[in-house]
Amino acid sequence: MEHEVVSIAKKMDKMVHKKNVAGALDLLKKLKNIPMTLELLQSTVIGMSVNNTDEEVTSLAKSFIKAWKKLLD
């Protein structure tokens, strides 16, 4: 599971750099299907990769981040 999240994070960084919004959205949709844990968030730092300037990508990413923040409680 960790390897998959790390792979998505690396691809996400490339998509953001290339301004490939469609690719970034596809990756976020894959990420949505992965059951996230606090340990997985910390070990993969995926939260850093989901930040983006595109409005659609940011909107979807924010929904993930809200759910992930609940893991901290």
The CATH number of the domain holding residue 11 is: 1.20.930.10
What is the C-alpha to C-alpha distance for residues 64 and 5, in angstroms, rounded to an integer? Answer: 13
Residues in the chain: 73
Q: Give the pLDDT score at 7.
A: 93
Give pLDDT tens digits for 39-62: 888 888 887 777 666 777 777 777
Confidence bin at 4 (pLDDT 50/70/90):
very high
Q: Is the pTM of this model over 0.75?
A: no
Q: Give the pLDDT score at 52.
A: 62
Tell me the residue range of the domain where 59 lies.
1-72
Task: Kindly report the average pLDDT of the chain as a whole number.
Answer: 83
Number of structural domains (the chain) is 1
Taking residues 10-32, report their average pLDDT: 87
Helix, strand, coil tally for the chain in percent (to 5): 75, 0, 25
